[in-house]
A and B are shown apart, each in its own frame.
Chain A
Amino acid sequence: MALMDNYLPLLVFFAFGILVPVGTIIFIRLIAPRGEYPRKHIPYECGWLPIGTAKIRFNVEYYTYAIVFLIFDVEALFLYPWAVSYKNPLITVPNFTLIACIEMFLFIVILLIGYVYAWKKGALEWIR
């Protein structure tokens, strides 16, 4: 029951969060004036006609950067369940807090090795 109490309102919020902007956009399409001057639909480029497409392919180094991010975000995600359980009084394993802390320490140290490697390789620099 607690599940329903806590998560059903989110469904309503989700519907609201979609309906409010969609409603606004439909509303302005109904009331806003419309002109027939075609030039104003050209993308803005300080008054020049755009040359070529804007949808460029991005430097491949961007992806190593993204992978480093992915690893650390997954690490942060893995920390969440650890954070709530490492000193939970309901867990009766002896020395659980100590064991949990040591394991998390090892986990972070292993990740830090990767972090130092990425730093040395220059993956954390802005793309040259």
Chain B
Amino acid sequence: MIGMVVEEVGTVIDLLHTYLIHIFSQYPFLKPLLIGFVGACVITGILFVAGMFVVWLERKFSADMQTRFGPNRVGGRYGQLQLLADAIKLFTKEDLVPETADIWLFTGAPIIAILSALMMAAGMPFGYVEVFGKQYLMAITNMDIGVLYVEAMAAISVFGIFMAGWGSASKYAVIGAFRSIAKMIGYEVPLAITVVSAAVMVGSLNFVDIVNFQTSLSFLGLEHVPAWLLILQPLGFFVFGVSLLADMGSKPFDQPEAEEELVAGWGVDYSGMRWALIYFSEYFHLILGACLFVLLFLGGWTLPFDMPANLTLPVFFGKVLLVILAVLVVRWSLPRYRIDQVQRLGWKILLPLSLVNLAWASAIGVML
């Protein structure tokens, strides 16, 4: 009986498979559209769940660092369902728009913020999955210009922030928006130049090439010491890390929203779900920034020894989690810089350092 059912199911799957191949060969645009649709559904879902997890993690973690309890009521001892409760509250809050606000900018800001994060996720590979002896790259696209594309999409988020600040037309919000632009453009240049240095060493802008490069060599001929760009370009690692922290608006660099002086900066007039969208997009940027960091400098989904292809996804996300924890440690232990100090760090220290790193990377890159 069971054997018959299995056989039937097998025939149906075979039929479906041949049918799909037939359809895809006739209409070549269907397959990428299907991949895009399924990928968009999955990635949106994963990002929202991961975002909620990271928010919970941050609340719990910061509470631990400050000897508080943090969420400890909803859903058990560790407040696991706190974020679900918050989501329900946010969904049922009133949708407030200040009367002076420019309605198009005010509404457009969360859209740009979420759009930027989703488009970023579309350009990154996350590892391999092996099914029936065939390996599939877990990525929506595998572009030759992947790094440039992700950089560009990450940079779009600054428009969202400025639209939010200018559109809500509160004085705090406008000051926050100006600070945000000043900070972003100060750190965009070192960030871009260190990313270029990584690409210079590898000679490619494709993420898969960059990860393969980091495993193909071994450092100074030492076994089990990988040629991760962390080791090949320690200076680039440092500059990239600091600029990424600044671009994510993490704690030592959160002048645009500085709670104690600007209340919430560019987001001061947002409430309810509109606020939640922007807030979530910040956490998406934290997660995706950690992904970018792991791909470029920490060897992506690989470890310094051989492992089965199905382990690549857990390894990748394990590394991402470690980077996020490191960001949280920095975020909750350093005090905020003054805005002119941020400016000085970005333009007068990180930019020259990134150029030094570029020279170093191209010199090593020629020799490799």
Contacts and interface: CB of A to CB of B under 8 A. Distances in A.
Q: What does DSSP make chain A's interface, helix, strand, loop or mixed? A: helix
Interface string A89-104: 0000000010001001
B205 A9 contact: no
Interface string B236-274: 000000000000000000000000000100001100111
Interface stretch (B50-58, B73-81, B162-170, B220-228): B162-170
Nearest to A11: B36
Contact of A54 (B110, B142, B145, B171): B171
A21 B358 CA distance: 39
A110 interface: no
Q: Is the interface of B mostly helix, strand, loop or mixed?
A: helix
Given A18-B115, A45-B170, A32 B272 contact: yes
Nearest to A12: B36
Given A20-B114, A32-B95, A58-B178, A44 B269 contact: yes
Contacts, number: 211
Interface string A1-36: 100111111111110111011101101110111110
Contacts of A10: 36, 119, 122, 140-141
A114 interface: no
B182 A29 contact: no
A54 B95 contact: no
Given A42-B99, A79-B196, A88-B203, A1 B28 contact: yes
Interface in B81-120: 91-101, 107, 110-111, 113-119
Contacts of B188: 69, 73
Contacts of A87: 203, 365-366
A35 to B, nearest CB: 6
Nearest to A52: B171
B286 interface: no
B340 to A, nearest CB: 4
B96 A40 contact: yes
A87 to B, nearest CB: 5
A62 B177 CA distance: 13
A106 interface: no
Interface size class, chain A = 35 or more
Among B37, B171, B199, B339, find the residue whose CB has the most chain A CB atoms closer than 10 A. Answer: B171
B291 to A, nearest CB: 16
A8 B347 contact: no
A104 B362 contact: yes
Nearest to B340: A126
B172 A44 contact: yes
Contacts of A86: 200, 203, 362
B343 interface: yes
A58 B143 CA distance: 40
A28 B272 CA distance: 9
Contacts of A62: 178, 182
Contact of A21 (B114, B200, B355, B359): B114
A62 to B, nearest CB: 8
B323 to A, nearest CB: 23
A65 B328 CA distance: 31
Interface of B: 28-29, 31-33, 35-37, 39-41, 44, 91-101, 107, 110-111, 113-119, 121-122, 140-143, 145, 148, 166, 168-174, 178, 182, 185-186, 188-189, 192-193, 196, 199-200, 203-205, 263, 268-269, 272-274, 277, 339-340, 343-344, 347-348, 351, 355, 358-359, 362, 365-366
